[in-house]
Amino acid sequence: HDSDQVLVPITIPVPTPVIGDNHGVILDIVSTQDNIEVLPQIPIEQAQQPQEVPLRRSTRERKSAILDDYIVFLQEHKDDISLTEDDPKIKLMYHKFHQVIISYGFEANIVNDCVYHKFSGSKYIFLVLYVDDILLASRDIGLLYETKRFLTKNFEMKDLGESSFVLGIKILRDRSHGIIRLSQENYIDKILDKFGMKDSKPGDTPIAKGDKFSFKQCPNNDLERNEMQKIPYASAVGSLMYAQVCTRPDIAFIAGVLGRYLSNPGMQH
């Protein structure tokens, strides 16, 4: 709440799996018919049609809890990287992979079931599964190669080598200082170009000293609101939020502030 406070970029300590002398590799599962079992034929039972019951509808006026023009989302790049959840073969591959990797001593993460971990004394290894790509990370190179051999034995694999680019995030290593850096430079360049700020100069802080935002700056008439409809404000803020969540915690404050005005942003916002 201090208006004289100057916000500066911060560094957040990253958990041990991605700092220190860690090793990370990417494997690609080569899908073949031999690896995908025949799906069982499950008979479909015909459900009985329920009897129609007359409904009494209220005549009171209903108001939505969220305004029609209130849009909140995280803006990612245009490429569709969503999982093909409706593909039975993909589901079967996940099920088979889960059974095999659990039998090897890995445990699934309770928050994200595509993340697995295994501890062997003081040694540990993390496995991240994304569609048919696998990311392995461990401080023990012996455990890393042992896991690679196990996966290659049970699945047809292609070793893509040390990880350097994952889901649009570039991985930069400085082993002399035991540091791993994550960069979304390509993504940020794309959104700058998308919103006409390719030639803009970077600032020293995420927000300039003295800048203040309030609801008083929101449009007060139809003319101002129509003018703001030409500006993709929600998309721009969503793009900032996506970068903030992934690699840029230093812009969390200003991204949150700008997000307050998504339903009715003004020119000053």
The label of the residue with tokens 């409904």 reads 55
* 204 vs 165: CA distance, rounded Å: 28
Confidence at residue 200, expressed as pLDDT on a 0 to 100 scale: 85
Burial of 147 (0-12, 13-18, 19+ CB in 10 A): buried
What SS3 string covers 23-51? EEEEEEECCCCCCCCCCCCCCCCCCCCCC
Mean pLDDT across the chain, nearest whole number? Answer: 75
Higher pLDDT, 226 or 67: 226
Rounded to a whole number, what is the distance in angstroms from the first to the last CA of the chain? 18
CA distance 175 to 48: 65
Structure tokens given for 228: 């703001």
The more confidently predicted of residues 252 and 11 is 252
pLDDT value of residue 38: 44
58: which 2 tokens?
């209220």
Give pLDDT tens digits for 189-230.
999 999 988 888 888 888 888 888 888 989 888 888 888 888
Assign 198 to helix, strand or coil.
coil
Summarize pLDDT for 134-167 with one digit per residue, the tens: 889 888 888 999 999 999 889 888 888 888 888 8
Q: Looking at residues 64-82, what average pLDDT do you find?
A: 42
Q: What's the CA gap between 258 and 266, in Å, rounded?
A: 10
Tell me, what's the pLDDT at 57?
Answer: 55
Tokens of 198: 């390719």
Quickly list DSSP for 96-131: HHHHHHHHTT-EE-SS-TTEEEEEETTEEEEEEEET
Residue 39 reports pLDDT greater than 70: no
| Whether 104 contacts 119, CB under 8 Å | no
Global confidence as pTM: 0.59
